[in-house]
Amino acid sequence: MTPTLKQNLMAEFIGTMFLVTVAIGSTILPLTLPGWTISLTVFINAVAVAMVLFALIETFGSVSGAPFNPAVTLAILAAKEIKPKRAALYMIAQITGGFVGLLIVGLMFYSYDPNILVVSSNVKDSGQVLAEFVGTFLLIGVIFGCVRGGSKHTGLSVAFVVGGMLVTTSSTMFANPAVTLNRMFTYAICGVAPISGILFIMAEVVGALAAAAVFAIIFLVKLKEKCEPFECPMLTGGPRPIIVDTERPSAQPAKCEPYDCPPKEKRQRS
User: Which of 218, 246, 262 finishes a domain?
Assistant: 218
CA angle in degrees (0–180, nearest 5) for 76-82-86: 115
The domain tally of the chain equals 2
User: Nearest Cα to 157, choosing from 247, 70, 58?
Assistant: 58
* Distance of alpha carbon 70 from alpha carbon 68, whole angstroms: 7
The angle subtended at Cα 30 by Cα 185 and Cα 19, nearest 5°, is 50
User: Residue 256: which domain range?
Assistant: 226-270
Same domain as 234, residue 188:
no
230 vs 144: CA distance, rounded Å? 22
The CATH number of residue 115's host domain is: 1.20.1080.10
Q: Does 92 share its domain with 136? A: yes
Digits of tens for pLDDT over the chain (270 positions)?
A: 789 999 999 999 999 999 999 999 999 999 888 888 999 999 999 999 999 999 999 999 999 999 999 999 999 999 999 999 999 999 999 999 999 999 999 999 999 999 999 999 999 999 999 999 999 999 999 999 999 999 999 999 999 999 999 999 999 999 999 999 999 999 999 999 999 999 999 999 999 999 999 999 998 866 544 444 444 444 444 444 433 344 444 444 444 444 444 455 544 444
Predicted TM-score (pTM) of the model is 0.81
Tell how far CA 112 is from the center of its chain.
29
Quote the pLDDT of residue 228.
Answer: 45
Q: Phi and psi for 244 in degrees, rounded to 5?
A: -75, -45
